[in-house]
Structure 1
């Protein structure tokens, strides 16, 4: 009897000791794995540039500092506003290339949008020149690679909103000559030739997508080698652009409608077409575009998590293919960012999450930058081919009465030698 009790005690002690060892060992093992994954993420990011498709820091500069760079030092965290971006955080986030947005309000349309857009292009270029040890202004896919090899953050310009060209192919070409390498076809307003995303829930049926002039804008962008950005446009505009373009398109900061039914996101029907087009969807971090129905029926749209952003990347990968996925944070253009992705320093955490979701090295390096570089190089090749085949610059103009006289009170029109 005593011997039996002793055996039971020994067995109990053994089980307890095993439980203690497991309780200690499992978290240590998980922590070790997490560290290995984090280290691997950083390794990948040192081998391939993380290309972020959209950052609105230039808008913060004009709103709070009137584009006067002497008032700020980007080597420190800006004090003029709660921002997501500065040089230390870009470096900590291992950002390899950044598209800086040249954005202007829709209210400038038909008035002085061109002036404001050029001012934003100017402040981006001056910002890059102010910190030559950090930034390098580039305009090509190879330029991104070269800057990355030199330890610089490749800096590119995307003009946000087709209203900024003021219905002028001449302005579009001038923007390209100034270094613009994508244009978002609309912002949150229609142009006289393209419908924005609000048409999908507040329809005015102005164009049902792109007008004929709008289709010519896409063709001219193809000829120039300027990327067609379909963030902010209506689904009809997405489809019309995909019908017309000869080059791959981008969504510089857009997420998946199937996971969050906000009209700024891309539906699966469009994602499947982007796969055929061999374009790219660079996932937006804005909480309102990440955490909403149908997958989050009771969700608070002012709150989202890093894991939910990864869910969007997973979904786009599933529907559009891993070659279709990219990063498009929209930092400093959003007022709420996901937990875990609070600012530009946090990109490695998202890459670590993808590793933990069993994304392969090729898939992760694709999302980091290789997918975008492929798209950019293809657009460059389409431009060369179109020019070699004799395509000439577009010179069409819109009639004076489009969209209406009330919106044209700030304009003059020239026909021959007469001004009206």
Structure 2
């Protein structure tokens, strides 16, 4: 029998090809909807958002995890592009810079209409699939980017924002971020403040998905309990598999299950293996664990491409999605479960958020208390109890008059 030593390796190769072929067959009709890609951030850093620069051509772009040929090779059919700005924009030019990043996403669709279709509804994603285009949606990454303004939240919705990540790596005046759990930041809102609840209520009313990646565990639990619609984690993994504070613990995964919510697994090596080195198989371990705890309908993909530095071996760029799907098939995931991971779970959550919205309902109007706001350049228009310069002068004159009258009596 020794003469057949070559048989088993050959059989393994054939089996591998079978899973890969089956993955591609499924993905031709149910392509990937990825929850988080930071290509717009790279376009800002590399080209200052000058999309007509010859080197910025998305058909030939090099040095990034994402370009058009790689997306097509990876069967990406839907992408939430991240409109992201770092925390150092908070209390400064956060809203302006966010608008610029949203503009970049819209211009990507205008510049490459044969590839991208900017959409805002779950039904539009399915239409883009049928038209063989990549449905392009906007996720705003970081609650600091609305500058604690319900009006800005609504304006960003009208410009196409369909999820808001409640925090990035900093607290907002109304919600706590994951660094609180690590001990690097102080809890300020104990999860969500009263104004934070108003933000979530308004997101429910509008039909904006609540994204809990980057938030503290207390914020996760508060949002999952408060929201009237399912929520998402656009790019987070399982804490039990890798105990990093950016990942989702099992008790929260149970809430995810109970609320029909969604965890879109992040590929950043530090979140996958808690080290700089990780593998595709370890990413599949996260998918397996979330499926085990929260159910197959709770699992999605949020690679975080072009937002991270280290990626697992086998998932180096967006072209590698079929290899991950092949691994799930090798692990006996059913076709239905795989289609859920690829797109159907996100489409379900998105449609349920849309159904829970109610634009006829009275909008939230109570602003955040002025004392919660920071920044020396802020004006105070609209805060009826906030002293204007005229009231300040009047109060000063009244105080002086009282003092002089008191001295006269002496």
2:370 touches 2:383 (CA, 8 Å); kept in 1?
Answer: no
2:212/2:231 contact within 8 Å kept: yes
Question: Which of the numbers 245, 255, 278 marks the counterpart of 2:227?
Answer: 245
**C-alpha distance in structure 2 between counterparts of 1:416 and 1:256, whole Å:** 43
Pair 1:187 & 2:171 matched: no
TM-score between both structures, scaled by the size of structure 1: 0.90
1:317 aligns with 2:298: no
2:335 pairs with 1:361: yes
* Closer/same/farther in 2, CA of residues 42 and 412 from structure 1, 3 Å limit: same
Unaligned runs of 5+ residues in structure 2 are 390-410
Encode CA deviations 1:264-287: one digit per residue, 9 max, x unaligned. 000000000000010100000000
In 1, Cα distance between equivalents of 2:45 and 2:205: 34
Aligned position for 1:107: 88
The Cα shift of 1:241 comes to 0.4
Q: What aligned pairs does 1:299-314 form with structure 2 within 5 A after superposition?
A: 301-314=275-288
Among 7, 19, 22, which residue is 2:2 paired with?
19
Q: Secondary structure of 1:331's match?
A: coil
Show the counterpart of 1:173: 154
1:169-212, Cα deviation, whole Å (9 max, x unpaired): 11001100001100000000000000000010225121110000
Aligned equivalent of 1:77, options 61, 66, 69: 61
Partner in structure 2 of residue 288 of structure 1: 270
Question: Partner of 1:410 in structure 2?
Answer: 377
User: Is residue 2:183 matched to residue 1:216?
Assistant: no
Aligned residue for 1:281, secondary structure, equals: strand
**Paired residue secondary structure (1:408):** coil
Across the two proteins, how many residue pairs are aligned to each other?
384
User: C-alpha deviations, 1:73-108, integer Å up to 9, x for none?
Assistant: 110133xxx310000100111101000000011111
Residue 401 of structure 1 and its aligned partner are, at CA, apart by 1.5
**1:227 aligned to which of 209, 212, 215:** 209
TM-score normalised to structure 2 length? 0.92
SS at match of 2:372: coil
Q: 1:257 aligns with which of 228, 239, 245?
A: 239
Deviation string 1:284-339 (CA, Å, 9 cap, x unpaired) is 000010112xxxxxxxx111000000000000000010000000000000011100
8 Å Cα contact 1:136/1:154 also seen in 2 = yes
Say whether residues 1:55 and 2:37 are aligned partners.
yes
The answer on whether the counterparts of 2:65 and 2:306 sit within 8 Å (CA) in structure 1 is yes
Residues 419, 76 of structure 1: CA spacing in aligned structure 2 closer, same or farther, 3 A cutoff? farther
CA displacement, residues 9-57 of structure 1 (integer Å, 9 cap, x when unaligned): xxxxxxxxx2212x22222222211111101000111111210000000
CA–CA separation in structure 1 for the residues paired with 2:291 and 2:18: 24
Does the aligned pair in 2 maintain the 1:111–1:411 contact within 8 Å? no
Say if 2:114 and 2:133, in contact at 8 Å, map to a contact too: yes
Kept in 1, the 8 Å contact 2:261–2:298? The answer is yes
Give the corresponding residue for 2:106: 125
Equivalent residues of 1:182, 1:227 under 8 A apart = yes
